[in-house]
Amino acid sequence: MDQYQIRGGRPLSGRVEIHGAKNSVLPMLASTLLHHGVSVLHNCPRLSDVDASLAILRHLGCRVNREGDVVTVDAATVGRWDIPDALMREMRSSVLFLGAILARTGRADVSMPGGCELGPRPIDLHLAALQRLGASMEQQGGRLICTRGDQLHGAEIDLSLPSVGATENAMLAAVGASGRTVIRNAAREPEIVDLARFLRGMGARVCGEGSSTLVVEGKVPLHDSDYRVMGDRIVAATYLSAVAAAGGEAELTGVDPSQFASVVALLRQGGAEVRCRPDSVWIRSTPPLSGVGCIRTAPYPGFPTDAQPVVMAALCRSRGTTVFVETMFENRYRHVDELCRMGANIRAEGRVAVVTGVDRLHGAPVQAHDLRGGGALCVAALGAEGETAVTGLNHIRRGYASLVEDLSALGADIREVNE
């Protein structure tokens, strides 16, 4: 079985460039369908979710080319509007293609994305937003068929929750809809800001990103574009947590730390020294951290649910207690049992997990059950005595393009073994 073998207990030191943000690049790849021409994305990470998106674009008829971290999509020749079940299953985010396919071709035929490792993830808000823009929906044997009349039309959309995916689907469909769309209670995540900038770079009229109200003037002519994807704030949060857990000092470049200020504040509260610049962050840590009271996940600018597992891993060896309240997803503590195998003292019930710091963690065979939970196991392993074998790498590869290389560059004893 493929695994990472990590021998912990040595401080980290060095500098790493953070790769492009998964959650920015996925909706951007879907957006390329809106333009009958070429879009070029720089800093596009090598991730299995990106590969799945490229496979969907090829299936739809796009010409796709990747050279290093540059991906070129020529969407002049889109001839299909369906996403096969196998591709939908490969990546839940394939639902992000719905709005763009509908705007481009007038219909879309996708399978219903089922539950996933984080618990049920409904798409009711995505569908309601598209309906407001004039789409009709029908379910046929596990498939979702969306159609529109002559064209989608601008509308006022009030989201009952600031869902990231629903905001993105609504934005993409609105770019192809005639007239003005206003999205209220929109998600404010930095990835939405990055997407809006990308769309503007191809000629779309979008404003208000980063606030709760987004305005899109649809059906303006689009043109070829070139865009550099921002650095991944969750990868940065993972590496900061790794240094906090193992000790040492490191500089992470190519990210804007104001986008994960809540994580930085937390690590400082735990005793790490963190200095921020506009496009880099530096950390020094001498474990143990101290417990930080209560961490409650929330939509941006609150504490990101995606950083909860990795910060929890860093706090396993803290002095004192930290209470986590996971408000975003139902099933996001699957790393807890694995961390306990390494000697952590964590009690999880429902949405609450209580971490009581222990003096030491020890290496153990552990399994990743989801992407950021997998990141958490690597963080804990770096602060543990002895060797940890992490399996479930398929989850980790969805979101970390160069984990082994990056942590090795920081002096970690980590290697990938493929059997």
Q: Is 116 a residue of the active site? A: yes
Stretch that binds ligand UD1, among 64-72, 134-142, 161-169, 347-355 (CB under 6 A): 161-169
CB of 309 to ligand UD1, least distance (A): 11
Kindly write out the interface string for residues 16-35 of this chain, putting x where it contacts ligand UD1 by CB under 6 A and - elsewhere.
-------x--x---------
- In the complex with ligand UD1, which residue's Cβ is closer, 99 or 247? 99
**In the numeric block, which tokens belong to residue 49?**
């979710």
What DSSP string runs through 255-289?
S-GGGGHHHHHHHHHTT-EEEEETTEEEEEE-SPP
The length of the chain, given as a count of residues: 419
Catalytic residue among 116, 276, 316, 378: 116
Kindly write out the interface string for residues 124-143 of this chain, putting x where it contacts ligand UD1 by CB under 6 A and - elsewhere.
xxx-----------------
For 106, counting Cβ atoms within 10 Å of its Cβ (0-12 exposed, 13-18 middle, 19+ buried), the class is: middle
Say how far apart CA 373 and CA 316 lie, in whole Å.
Answer: 14
Half-sphere exposure of 234 (CA within 13 A, CB side): 27
Are the CB atoms for 159 and 183 separated by under 8 Å?
yes
- In the complex with ligand UD1, which residue's Cβ is closer, 75 or 125? 125
User: Judged by CB under 6 A, does residue 165 bind ligand UD1?
Assistant: yes
CB of 162 to ligand UD1, least distance (A): 7
Closest CA to 21 of 237, 300, 333, 245: 237
CB of 153 to ligand UD1, least distance (A): 21
Residue with smallest beta-carbon separation from ligand UD1: 165
- In the complex with ligand UD1, which residue's Cβ is closer, 164 or 410? 164
- In the complex with ligand UD1, which residue's Cβ is closer, 82 or 306? 306
Residue ranges of E strands in 293-357: 293-296, 321-325, 345-349, 352-356
Kindly write out the interface string for residues 290-309 of this chain, putting x where it contacts ligand UD1 by CB under 6 A and - elsewhere.
---------------xx---
Stretch that binds ligand UD1, among 80-88, 121-129, 242-250, 286-294 (CB under 6 A): 121-129
User: Judged by CB under 6 A, does residue 93 bind ligand UD1?
Assistant: yes
Say how far apart CA 343 and CA 268 lie, in whole Å.
Answer: 25
- In the complex with ligand UD1, which residue's Cβ is closer, 48 or 280? 48
Stretch that binds ligand UD1, among 31-39, 102-110, 157-165, 361-369 (CB under 6 A): 157-165
- In the complex with ligand UD1, which residue's Cβ is closer, 371 or 377? 371
Say how far apart CA 361 and CA 342 lie, in whole Å.
Answer: 5
Q: How far is CA 118 from CA 83, 369, 371, 376, in A?
A: 23, 9, 10, 15
For 138, counting Cβ atoms within 10 Å of its Cβ (0-12 exposed, 13-18 middle, 19+ buried), the class is: exposed
Stretch that binds ligand UD1, among 1-9, 36-44, 163-171, 339-347 (CB under 6 A): 163-171
Count of residues in contact with ligand UD1, rule CB under 6 A: 20
**In the numeric block, which tokens belong to residue 386?**
């002895």
Residue whose structure tokens are 């796709």: 64
Residues classed as catalytic: 116
Binding site for ligand UD1 (CB under 6 A): 23, 26, 93, 121-126, 161, 163-166, 187, 191, 305-306, 328-329
